[in-house]
Amino acid sequence: MAEESTLFGAELRRLRRKAGLSLGEFANLAHYSKGYLSKLENGSKPARPDVARRCDAVLHADGRLASLATPRKPEPATTEVDSEDREVWLMNLTQGGSSWFRPMNRRDALALGRAR
């Protein structure tokens, strides 16, 4: 796992620098703290798949970071639903009139609204 974290961190730093972003600028765009992203870059924290996907999106990395992320362990089933963790559905529309839905977590949905 340490090697995966190191590979992810090195690639994250390389892509961030290639994009010309400081760690603070990247933190604002990705909606994560500068300290957390620094720990990812240094390999001291493993990257969760959802974090890697967001970093991919901000850096236009075409899934390179997501492929290096640490797989998430299955969460135990719960009977209660926390209002902060409810699933959100995003509707995608094309110019031709077709549409489809895809699920996303609440944090990602909020970040999309803020990015525009």
Question: Based on the domain organization, do 55 and 14 belong to the same domain?
Answer: yes
User: How many residues are there in the chain?
Assistant: 116
Whether residue 97 lies inside any domain: the answer is yes
Give the Cα separation of 65 and 49 in Å (integer): 9
Task: Please give the residue range of the domain that contains residue 108.
Answer: 86-115
Does this model's pTM top 0.75? My answer is no
Whether residue 76 lies inside any domain: the answer is no
First to last CA, the chain: 36
* H/E segment holding residue 58: helix 49-59
Please count the structural domains in the chain.
Answer: 2
pLDDT tens per residue across span 23-79? 999 999 999 999 999 999 999 999 899 999 999 999 999 999 999 887 766 656 555
Whether residue 26 lies inside any domain: the answer is yes
Which band of pLDDT confidence, cut at 50, 70 and 90, is reported for residue 113?
low
Read off the CATH number of the domain in which 11 is found.
Answer: 1.10.260.40
Does residue 86 carry a pLDDT above 90?
no
Question: Based on the domain organization, do 6 and 43 belong to the same domain?
Answer: yes
Question: Based on the domain organization, do 59 and 95 belong to the same domain?
Answer: no
